[in-house]
């Protein structure tokens, strides 16, 4: 091949992934070998684990894997900073020098690693961003399917561009990463940011497998936090909706006032207790909800203004 092959880095966030990390490494190193043989990538391509403050032996295993093969690199966070921050560290810390492509994938390999070959081919053909998109969700529980679908629908309604059924399995080239580094917000919602960057993109379809071993690190609590964060990072529509609701309530109450006045003037008075109670509770509820939504945004401003580091790195294995 006349042109120099591209250097690829595969980034894997890992939080308590002791049961899978060795197998994952084996599969990915074999995949790298195969792609090097096919002259798709250069021989110095590597994989990097971001240990997101695991409490099990994930980091110890990463160290011994690194000792066995220098193509395994690692970043060790001082504590748990979350999946999104682990991805950001992986995309920016070890990959800013001479890496051409970065692929992010979960350490449990639920996303089909073989799709990486197709992603690299598309990138070699000039695509800057390649999204891994799941073409079926049969490995998910009905609840996860339902909640994910509702989430993408709500995002769409709020005018946020996301790629349905695309999680954080994607390839980015250095051009995209350079732009990405200019996004300085603390709370990153990567699935919304990348589609907003632009450039030439493509999609690769795959079927998502069951988790190889270990258990999910995304309980309902974390999923809800993730969804709220996605919405409030990209849209102020919830505030607009509350305002519109307020205007509607006000209009209704003016009409209602006229009605009550007429009743009073015609001396047609009733006890009025049920109506009173309902209004008090309803209006109270709506007001609290409104304050809650606004509070969510103010909290977000507070966090952004503090501008704290997104993560703290304890060790790096280069
Ligand atoms: N993960 C992480 N930090 C966390 C939670 C998860 O780095 O606080 C990693 C985890 O190790 C995995 C990926 O994020 O590589 C996705 O997590 P998981 O597979 O548990 O989520 P699910 O596939 O069930 O949505
Ligand atoms: Mg998983």
Print pLDDT tens along the chain (318 aa).
Answer: 446 889 999 999 999 999 999 999 999 999 999 999 998 999 999 999 999 999 999 999 999 999 999 999 999 999 999 999 999 999 988 766 689 999 999 998 888 899 999 999 999 999 999 999 988 777 777 888 888 888 888 888 888 888 888 889 999 999 999 999 889 888 888 888 899 888 989 998 988 877 777 777 777 888 888 888 888 887 878 888 888 888 888 788 778 778 877 877 787 666 676 677 777 777 887 887 888 888 888 888 888 888 888 899 998 888
Residue 272, domain member (yes or no): yes
Residues 66 and 202 in one domain: yes
What is the position in ligand 1's atom list of the atom closest to the CA of 110?
Answer: 23
Tell me, using a 6 A CB cutoff, whether residue 218 lines ligand 1.
Answer: yes
Residues 139 and 274 in one domain: no
Residues 133 and 252 in one domain: no
Give the pLDDT confidence score for residue 269 in this predicted structure.
67
Among protein residues, the one with the nearest Cα to ligand 1's atom 8 is 82
Within 8 A by CB and 6+ apart from 266, the residues are none
Residues 262 and 300 in one domain: yes
Give the pLDDT confidence score for residue 61 in this predicted structure.
94
Residue 229, domain member (yes or no): no
Tell me, using a 6 A CB cutoff, whether residue 52 lines ligand 1.
Answer: yes
Tell me, using a 6 A CB cutoff, whether residue 71 lines ligand 1.
Answer: no
Domains of the chain: total = 2
Residues 212 and 128 in one domain: yes
Residues 249 and 166 in one domain: no
Pinpoint the alpha helices (H) of the chain: 21-37, 58-68, 83-92, 115-124, 142-157, 174-180, 190-197, 220-234, 237-265, 273-306
Give the pLDDT confidence score for residue 34 in this predicted structure.
93
Residue 47, domain member (yes or no): yes
Give the pLDDT confidence score for residue 141 in this predicted structure.
79
Give the pLDDT confidence score for residue 52 in this predicted structure.
93
**Is residue 127 a contact partner of residue 135, using CB atoms and an 8 Å limit?**
no
Nearest CA to 46 out of 74, 19, 16, 21 is that of 74
pTM to 2 decimal places:
0.77
CA of 217 to the centre of ligand 1 (A): 5
Within 8 A by CB and 6+ apart from 43, the residues are 36
CA of 51 to the centre of ligand 2 (A): 15
By the CB criterion, residues less than 5 angstroms from ion ligand 2 are 106, 108, 110
> Quick one: which ligand is closest to 216's CA?
1
CA of 211 to the centre of ligand 2 (A): 6
Residues 211 and 288 in one domain: no
What is the position in ligand 1's atom list of the atom closest to the CA of 216?
Answer: 20
Rg of the chain in Å (alpha carbons) = 25
Tell me, using a 6 A CB cutoff, whether residue 172 lines ligand 1.
Answer: no
Residues 159 and 104 in one domain: yes
CA of 52 to the centre of ligand 1 (A): 9
Among protein residues, the one with the nearest Cα to ligand 1's atom 12 is 106
Residues 296 and 253 in one domain: yes
Residues 190 and 255 in one domain: no
Residues 172 and 29 in one domain: yes
Q: What CATH number does residue 208 fall under?
A: 3.90.550.10
In whole angstroms, give the CA distance from residue 88 to residue 80.
14
Give the pLDDT confidence score for residue 3 in this predicted structure.
67
Residues 212 and 247 in one domain: no
> Quick one: which ligand is closest to 16's CA?
1
User: How long, in residues, is the chain?
Assistant: 318
CA of 118 to the centre of ligand 2 (A): 21
Residue 231, domain member (yes or no): no
Give the pLDDT confidence score for residue 296 in this predicted structure.
82
Nearest CA to 136 out of 149, 123, 155 is that of 149
Give the pLDDT confidence score for residue 2 in this predicted structure.
47
Strands 129-136, 72-77: pairing kind: unpaired
Which of 10, 12, 15 best tests ligand 1's pocket when mutated (most atoms within 8 Å of CB)? 15
Give the pLDDT confidence score for residue 270 in this predicted structure.
66
CA of 59 to the centre of ligand 2 (A): 18
Strands 129-136, 166-173: pairing kind: antiparallel
Give the pLDDT confidence score for residue 144 in this predicted structure.
81
Residue range(s) defining the domain that contains residue 147: 8-217
In whole angstroms, give the CA distance from residue 52 to residue 78.
8
* Residue with the two structure tokens 């409104």: 290
Residue 313, domain member (yes or no): no
Tell me, using a 6 A CB cutoff, whether residue 100 lines ligand 1.
Answer: no
Tell me the helices (H) and strands (E) count for the chain, helix number first. Answer: 10, 8
């Amino acid at each position: 091949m006349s042109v120099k092959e591209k250097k690829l880095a595969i980034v894997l966030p890992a939080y308590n992934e002791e049961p899978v990390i060795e197998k994952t490494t084996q599969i990915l190193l074999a995949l790298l070998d195969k792609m090097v043989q096919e002259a798709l990538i250069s021989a110095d391509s590597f994989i990097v684990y971001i240990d997101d403050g695991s409490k099990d032996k994930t980091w110890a295993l990463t160290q011994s894997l690194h000792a066995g093969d220098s193509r395994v690199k690692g970043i060790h966070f001082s504590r748990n900073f979350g999946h999104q921050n682990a991805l950001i560290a992986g995309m920016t810390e070890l990959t800013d020098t001479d890496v051409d492509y970065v692929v992010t994938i979960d350490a449990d390999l639920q996303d089909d690693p073989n799709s990486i070959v197709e992603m690299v081919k598309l990138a070699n053909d000039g695509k800057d961003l390649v999204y891994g998109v799941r073409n079926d969700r049969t490995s998910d529980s009905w609840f996860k399917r339902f909640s994910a679908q509702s989430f993408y629908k709500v995002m769409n309604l709020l005018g946020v561009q996301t790629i349905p059924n695309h999680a954080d399995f994607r390839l980015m080239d250095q051009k995209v990463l350079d732009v990405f580094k200019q996004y300085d917000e603390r709370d990153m919602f990567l699935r919304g940011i990348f589609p907003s960057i632009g450039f030439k993109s493509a999609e690769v379809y795959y079927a998502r497998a069951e988790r190889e071993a270990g258990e999910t690190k995304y309980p309902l609590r974390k999923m809800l936090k993730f969804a709220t964060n996605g919405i409030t990072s990209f849209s102020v529509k919830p505030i607009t909706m509350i305002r519109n609701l307020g205007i509607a309530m006000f209009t209704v109450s003016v009409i209602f006032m006229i009605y009550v006045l007429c009743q009073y003037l015609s001396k047609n008075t009733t006890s009025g207790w049920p109506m009173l109670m309902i209004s008090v509770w309803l209006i109270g509820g709506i007001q609290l909800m409104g304050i809650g939504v606004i509070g969510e945004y103010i909290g977000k401003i507070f966090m952004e203004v503090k501008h704290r580091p997104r993560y703290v790195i304890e060790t790096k294995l280069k």
